[in-house]
Amino acid sequence: MIPTSFPPAQDIARLTARMLLEIEAVHFNAAEPYTLASGLPSPAYIDCRKLISYPRIRATLMDFLACTVMREAGFEAFDNIAGGETAGIPFAAMVAERMGLPMSYVRKKPKGYGRNARIEGAMAEGDRVLLVEDLTTDGGSKLSFVDAIRDTGASCAHTAVIFYYGIFPETEKTLGDHGVALHHLCTWWDVLAEAKSAGAFDAATLSEVEKFLSEPRAWQEAQATR
């Protein structure tokens, strides 16, 4: 069903952060930092994949994502919703259902047999495609998916995610230079504010996480010298 209610962006951010904390998708550990996909350390880690196991929360967030995209990009801006392999696939399917649009997905690389395709599903030349993923850190991983979509003759000028790190200033420039606008529900700053409000973690941990969020590169460099 196409959402017809459009909550304010700040309410969406706060509620999304609360839901992520409620299902324990948020992990803070300053003593034993996590390793990000980049190989760099972080005291904060988020697992948006857990959302698929919580029907009420996933339904609410997919309503939020659909209405955010329609409000920011347009109500008739897309012809196809594409999910990035693998985390983006279920979310793309749910957003496509809400927006009444076809769904496809993009492989990280050609599958190596058969049609050797990267795009699965029907995507036509000239289609305006929205790329849906679970999250983005620095935006770099989105570019390969966008290029694969464009290789079909379709266009891809927008990507939508549930969670955006919001701490690396180059992210939106990286995407913007590639002709892609980013839409998101919440950031680490929203999660930190909600975690403080709810007393979800001890003060020392929250303080260290805030140091990381304020200067992530400096924090990571300091960890490397320990």
Q: Which tens digit of pLDDT belongs to each residue from 66-125?
A: 999 999 999 999 999 999 999 999 999 999 999 999 999 999 988 766 566 899 999 999
Cα–Cα distance between 223 and 226 in angstroms, integer?
A: 5
Q: How confident is the model at residue 36 (pLDDT cuts 50, 70, 90)?
A: confident
- Domain membership of residue 2 (yes or no) is no
- Domain membership of residue 4 (yes or no) is no
- Domain membership of residue 87 (yes or no) is yes
The answer to whether 96 and 102 are in contact (CB under 8 A) is yes
What's 115's domain CATH number?
Answer: 3.40.50.2020
The answer to whether 95 and 66 are in contact (CB under 8 A) is yes
Given this model, what pLDDT does residue 113 score?
67
Is cis: bond before 68, omega within 30 of 0? no
- Domain membership of residue 73 (yes or no) is yes
Residue 9 has pLDDT above 60, yes or no: yes
The answer to whether 131 and 159 are in contact (CB under 8 A) is yes
**Parallel, antiparallel, or unpaired: how do β-strands 41-42 and 34-35 relate?**
antiparallel
- Domain membership of residue 195 (yes or no) is yes
Given this model, what pLDDT does residue 114 score?
57
Task: Give pTM, 2 decimals.
Answer: 0.93
Given this model, what pLDDT does residue 1 score?
72
User: What is the mean pLDDT of the segment spanning 13-39?
Assistant: 92
The answer to whether 119 and 108 are in contact (CB under 8 A) is no
Q: Which domain holds residue 44?
A: 9-224
Cα–Cα distance between 44 and 33 in angstroms, integer?
A: 7
State the total domains in the chain. 1
- The alpha carbon of 70 is separated from its chain's Cα centroid by a whole number of angstroms, namely 16
The one-letter code for the residue type at 34 is Y
Q: How confident is the model at residue 28 (pLDDT cuts 50, 70, 90)?
A: very high
- Domain membership of residue 219 (yes or no) is yes
- Domain membership of residue 143 (yes or no) is yes
- Domain membership of residue 3 (yes or no) is no
Cα–Cα distance between 32 and 41 in angstroms, integer?
A: 9
Cα–Cα distance between 149 and 103 in angstroms, integer?
A: 13
Q: Which tens digit of pLDDT belongs to each residue from 156-206?
A: 999 999 999 999 888 999 999 999 999 999 999 999 999 999 999 999 999
